[in-house]
Structure 1
């Protein structure tokens, strides 16, 4: 009896972990669909419906790891620059860029999506914004070629 309960519990935990993983992927992909797809395209290759109207052209997000050493030669080939991707999406952190920033500052836009911030709770809304950006960065990491 105890053995069958143990096996059943392990199976239940395995199913639960699968649901959590699927939910995490959905969260990141939903954020991508709402915030990035129009410029970067369904597959993230920079070929979205608005790409033809943009200068400079949107980045191929699937090649970030492959091209990561071009910006920082000390980085290992194929390494995903997670912090850099987070900072580019957030846009509120000071980062080096060449010329004007063409991509929207999603950190500010996500913050504006939050309802009126009651006095003393600004930190809570910032956590929500950072969570959304983290999920998006993880999703972009998952589409690397």
Structure 2
């Protein structure tokens, strides 16, 4: 019994240490994006076969943009609340709206908007860090 408790504590401590090393952007990506884009961000998540269109490889965004990461564009695509309808239907969820709904419950309408914006910045920065 004593060994089990020590082993369990060691496992929890290791898990907490690993979680502390993960950035907010990485955690958000794994929670919100990896199911479609894949853990490796190359467009091969577990839901890929169920989608009408394959998600793009997010690791080559800078390469496809002349070597510069299109930060504002990626931020706007993730947020999705301010898309121009003439650009066609969205393939992915409007994360800005979904995040805001969660965040406003915890922080109120104004605080929710601030937290939502920060979540999207963290996520965009993480995707920027994945560029090849």
**TM-score, normalization: structure 2?**
0.78
Q: Report if the CA contact (8 A) 2:104-2:113 is conserved.
A: no
Q: Secondary structure of 2:105's match?
A: coil
Partner of 1:31: 28
Structure 1: any 5+ residue segments left out of the alignment?
1-21, 69-76
State how 1:74-113 maps to structure 2 within 5 Å: 77-95=66-84, 98-113=87-102
Bigger helix share? 2
* Correspondence 1:1-145 to 2 at 5 A: 26-68=23-65, 77-95=66-84, 98-116=87-105, 121-145=108-132
Where do 5+ consecutive residues of structure 2 fail to align?
Answer: 1-18
What per-residue deviation string (whole Å, max 9, x for no partner) do you get for residues 38-75 of structure 1?
0000110000000111121101000111112xxxxxxx
Equivalents in 2 of 1:135, 1:78: separation in Å?
Answer: 21
Query: 1:40, 1:97 → 2: CA distance?
Result: 25
CA distance in structure 1 between the aligned counterparts of 2:85 and 2:112, rounded to whole angstroms: 26
Aligned length: 114
In the alignment, the residues of structure 2 paired with residue 135 and residue 144 of structure 1 have an alpha-carbon distance, to the nearest angstrom, of 15
Output the aligned Cα RMSD. 2.2
Larger radius of gyration: 1
In the superposition, the TM-score normalised over structure 1's length comes to 0.71
Evaluate the alpha carbon distance shift between residue 78 and residue 96 of structure 1 in structure 2; reply closer, same or farther with a 3 A threshold.
farther
